[in-house]
Structure 1
Amino acid sequence: MLSFLDYGIILVYFLMLIGIGVISLKKISNETDFLVAGRRLGYGLYVPAMTAVVLGGASTFGSSTLGYQYGISGLWLVAMIGLGILGMGIFFSGKLSKLKIFSVSELLGNRFGKSSRYISGLIMTVYDIMVSVTAIVAIGVMFTALFGWSSVNSILVGGVIVVLYTMLGGMWAVTLTDVIQFWIMFIGIILILMPMGIFHAGGLAEISNRVNPEFLSLTNVGGKAIFAYFLLYFFGMMIGQDIWQRAFTAKNEKTLRRGTIYAGVLCIIYGIAGAVIGMVASVVLPGLSDPQQALPQLVLTVLPTGLVGVLLAAVSSAVMSTASGTIMASSTIIVNDFILSRSKKIRSDKDIIKLTRIVTLVVGGIAIFISLVLQDIIVALDVAYALLSGSIFIPVIAALFFKNVSAKVTLTSIIISAVVVIGDLIIEGVSSLNAIIFGLIAGALVMFIGSLVQTKQSTNQQYEENIETKELEQVVELER
């Protein structure tokens, strides 16, 4: 049972989030401020903000749940997320720092035409909305446990808090709240809960003696599961709109590169901590009917009054940072890639900000509505991740690193790979890993074959033009 002090800490935290949204209004003077925080974040803001948007409820609950079931190997889910962020920092930062755009689909549109922009924008919007839905549902579950409310009221209140500060302050509000959420998450999970849990369990040596020996193996979760996390999260993290939009807030290439790499390392550390916490819970609280309760039940068992409130605020932070980032990402794509790109009307920065706020409110409302009625969010999320990684990753690589790929070839690649992904999900089921594999292979083959055909056609055309030029020169010479 929570004390009044714990309730007070949680209430103050939520009021602070809304207050940040109101304060952030003064920081916004143009579209760039609202969408990418003015592209001027240094390490102090960029690193925690990038880390927080990646580490959501799935990361926090997922790593501790897997740790409870499989031990230290439960780290792989979040570790793959961290490796994806590392990959983006190492391979994409130089290109991203030079792009003055707001979305992934805008890049594809600039390189390969409007059709590629609209199709990729649709896929990316669906993906981000479904990620925000999972976060809002998680917020609802927490509020139900904390306050005893119905699930409907919990989702409504939690969703409205996130939508409100995101709509008011845009990326500035999301950034500032994410920085606060980052510190609460890391202090709460790594510096408070993990050491106190280890102490309560009798120390690392005692834990090692009491757990199943397989819990100390890095592969206990299984090679298939590790490969699944790689497919789902490694590629998706490198091209996610919510991740790119946060990358665009960095003030220069150096900050983007190093800051993103630091964020990836912090994600891996967080995953290790989550797995350790789950393993500790398996010793302190053996036999839980629901392994997902490992983290909250450990909080209530080992922490004193006051610190319980801090830790529950930390868990709330993890979930809310994902919800706000993905709602902002969906709104940006809808405004930037579907409304402004098709409109001939010249709009001022003030009008664009107003439009984006309206769209953010609508997107947030849609996410809350879906959260209230959708029965199986995991199904929708698996489909969204499969489409994102299976059909968008190869075209993004082509846009960033290959200058000679044509718009026609890229559009064909997106369509065929999307059809392959959807077809496999229908045939093998939504949990099929082959959907992403086949989608990536299909996209790469279309790119490769299409580029070869295009090169051959260009060579033939050039050859014919050379023949015609020589014949013309011969005719001119004869006439002389």
Structure 2
Amino acid sequence: MSIIDVSVIVLYLLVIALVGVLGARRAKTSEDYIIAGRNLNFPMYFGCLAALTLGGAATIGTAKLGYQSGMSGIWFVTSQGIGLALIGVFLAKKIFQLKVLTISEMLENRFGVEARLISSLVSATYTTMLTVTQIIAIGSVLNVWVGWNFTISALVAGGIVLFYTVLGGMWSVTMTDIVQFAVMTIGIFFVMLPMSLGKAGGWEGLHASVPADYFNLSTSGGIDIFKSILLYALGIIVGQDVWQRVFTARSLKVSRLGAFAAGGYSLLYAVAVAIIGMCAFVVIPNLDTPQNAFASMAVTTLPPGVLGLVLAGVLSALMSTASGTLIASSTLLVNDVIKRFIKPDMNEKQFLRTSRLTTLSIGVFSMICALWIQDVLVALDIAFAILSGALFFPIIFSFFWKRVTSKAVFFSILISTIAIVIGLITEGTTSIVPILYGLVASLVTILFITFLSKPTTGPIMQKTDTRQNRDVV
């Protein structure tokens, strides 16, 4: 890379750190730190929600899939967009009415304290693994583009994310996300996509140079597409990192429209990055590591200065998701484990201090895991398999079936998590079987125990009914 590109990257990282520090000034209460005071308007909410879902795995992973199988690579990110759209249609109002901080807190209101504990641990595992995927992607990109060692790349960029997230929580995440969303959009749609097509001979040249089935949306196979929808659409619907952004919306209208808009943007982003991966197949046909398709294409295609801008855009995508999942992990552990079970008399000052220390600890742990795994899609599959398989049915039934019982939900989460872990060990992380194990185990357990036990009644159910019947302005 030229000195111009390196300067652009360094300047961008400094700007993000500065914006994060400015955001920290607004984090004065626990709600400020965790959900930005429930005060985001549509542009801020839409940008933050889109930046969260379209992170490193979406960019690096979709380009890899586009390189390997063409347009069918869009299903990975499109499935996440489907999940966001489903939230807007079916769940936005219900989520917005809750006025809680986490999914696990909602489950306690409905099913009792045991459900809160086990769901918070499962969700924290998921969000932490998502943080790991972003750090892996950061290391891969900087390793190819800047030439830094993977370890150094992951530690430097991951350390900056950790720095501003620890300081300001969701307000820092929100303010940096707005900058990152703008840079990401410009870098992908207005720079990388047209220049990649130009290098590949334009749309006609691309058609003539790639296999014909690269323009078939089902080239990757029905099983892989079904797996993507199961993992990512369901995972988005029940992800704490996504719910936490929904909680930041100023109104129900903002919540719904923002989810629809982010879902539509996800589809456009998926198509753009898949095409970039296809262009890389034409320009760099013998790439040893398909995961580096996006980064290698940028180095091959872009002139000095422009390369630095596009790298900043990719870093934006990576850092946005990393910060969002990092604060989600911290919130789950602090709000649903530490404050609920260990130190219930925690005041605002203690909550903020504990949140920052927990965020720091999770960030350091995530960087260590990233250095071990070093494969974006493997880490992502593990994360979504655990989340979707274990929590999808308990959360959906909590909204739409009053008969389901506390005991059924607790054992459903426990048994399905065990089934998923066994499936990952026996079938491998790339198999669709582990999540099917989890979903089947979860559904059967819920139905079986619910019909054999008495309905949940008393203060828990009354509290839930009161929340769900509250008028929303």
Name the TM-score, length of structure 1 as normaliser.
0.90
Shift of 1:86: 1.2
Which deviations, in whole Å up to 9, do the C-alpha atoms of 1:119-169 show, x marking residues without a partner? 111111111111111211222233333443333322221221110010111
Query: What is the rounded CA distance, in whole Å, between the counterparts of 2:442 and 2:250 in structure 1?
Result: 34
1:102 alignment partner in structure 2: 101
* Closer/same/farther in 2, CA of residues 377 and 60 from structure 1, 3 Å limit: closer
Give the C-alpha shift of residue 293 in structure 1.
2.6
Q: What are the within-5 Å matches in structure 2 for residues 124-273 of structure 1?
A: 124-273=123-272
User: Which of 233-242 and 193-202 deviates more?
Assistant: 193-202
> Superposition pairs for residues 296-375 of structure 1, below 5 Å?
296-343=295-342, 345-374=344-373
Structure 2 length as normaliser, TM-score? 0.92
Q: Which residue of 1 aligns with 2:429?
A: 430
RMSD: 2.0
Q: 2: CA distance between counterparts of 1:311 and 1:111?
A: 46
1:478 — aligned with what? none
In 2, the alpha carbon distance for the partners of 1:213 and 1:258 equals 37
Q: 1:292: Cα distance to partner?
A: 2.3
Q: Give the corresponding residue for 2:447.
A: 448
| Amino acid paired to 1:52 | A
Cα shift readout 1:292-321 (whole Å, capped 9, x = no counterpart): 232222222222221111001111111111
On the 8 A contact 1:10/1:312 being kept in 2, the answer is yes
Provide closer, same or farther for how the CA distance between residues 57 and 346 of structure 1 changes in structure 2, counting only shifts above 3 A: same
Alpha-carbon distance in structure 2 between the residues aligned to 1:311 and 1:254: 33
The 3-state SS of whatever aligns with 2:166 is helix
The answer on 1:413 being equivalent to 2:412 is: yes
Count of matched residue positions in the alignment of Structure 1 and Structure 2:
457
Larger mean Cα displacement after TM superposition, 235-244 or 278-287: 278-287
Q: Distance in 1 between matches of 2:319 and 2:376?
A: 17
Counterpart residue number, 1:294? 293
Structure-2 change in CA distance of 1:457 and 1:187 (3 Å): closer
Tell me the distance in 2 between the aligned counterparts of 1:291 and 1:443: 35
Deviation at 1:240, TM superposition (A): 0.8
Match of 1:463 in 2: none
- The letter of the residue matching 1:304 is P
Q: Is the 8 A contact 1:20 1:169 kept in 2?
A: no
Give distance in 2, aligned partners of 1:222 and 1:245: 34
Q: Distance in 2 between matches of 1:246 and 1:395?
A: 21
1:379 Cα shift?
A: 5.1
- How many angstroms apart in 1 are the aligned matches of 2:131 and 2:206? 36
Residue type matched to 1:453 in 2?
A: L
Among all aligned residue pairs of Structure 1 and Structure 2, give the percentage whose two residues are the same amino acid. 41
For 2:144 and 2:54, how far apart are their aligned partners in 1? 21
Structure 2 gaps, min length 5: 458-473
What is the CA-CA distance between 1:457 and the residue it aligns to? 12
The 3-state SS of whatever aligns with 2:340 is coil
Aligned partner of 1:394: which letter? F
Measure how far apart 1:356 and its partner are.
0.7
- How far off its partner does 1:207 sit? 1.6
Which has the higher mean CA deviation after the structures are superposed, 379-388 or 100-109?
379-388
CA distance in 2, matches of 1:115, 1:270: 40
Preserved contact between residue 382 and residue 429 of structure 2 (Cα < 8 Å) = yes
The alpha carbon displacement at 1:225 in A equals 1.3
- C-alpha contact 1:130 1:377 (8 A) present in aligned 2: no
Question: Do the aligned residues in 1 keep the contact of 2:65 with 2:274 (CA within 8 Å)?
Answer: yes
Identify unmatched segments of 5+ residues in structure 1.
Answer: 459-480
**C-alpha contact (below 8 Å) 1:167/1:357 kept by paired residues:** yes
Structure 1, residues 247-281: CA drift from partner, whole Å, max 9, x if none? 11111111111101110110011000011111122
- 1:376 Cα deviation (Å)? 6.6
- Partner residue in 1 for 2:469: none
For 1:52-131, list aligned pairs within 5 A: 52-131=51-130
Task: Quote the Cα distance in structure 2 between the aligned partners of 1:74 and 1:456.
Answer: 44
- Deviation string 1:437-479 (CA, Å, 9 cap, x unpaired) is 2321222222223333346999xxxxxxxxxxxxxxxxxxxxx
Task: Between 374-383 and 13-22, report the one with greater CA deviation.
Answer: 374-383
| CA distance in 2: counterparts of 1:257 and 1:377, whole angstroms | 30
Is this contact kept in 2: 1:409–1:447, CA < 8 A? yes
CA contact (8 A) 2:416 2:438 kept: yes
Distance 2:149 2:289 in 1: 20
Verify the 8 A CA contact 2:133 2:379 in the aligned structure 1.
no
Deviation digits for residues 211-253 of structure 1, max 9, x if unmatched?
2111121111211211111121111111111111111111111
Q: Indicate conservation of the 8 Å contact 2:298/2:307, yes or no.
A: yes
Structure 1 residues 271 and 363 mapped into 2: Cα distance closer, same or farther (>3 Å)? same
SS of 1:342's equivalent in the other structure is helix
Measured in 1, the distance between the counterparts of 2:425 and 2:88 equals: 35
Q: In 1, are the aligned partners of 2:192 and 2:298 still within 8 Å (CA)?
A: yes
Contact 2:132 2:379 in 1 (8 A): no
Checking the alignment, whether the CA contact within 8 Å between 2:58 and 2:76 is kept in structure 1 is yes
Do structure 1's residue 28 and structure 2's residue 33 form an aligned pair? no
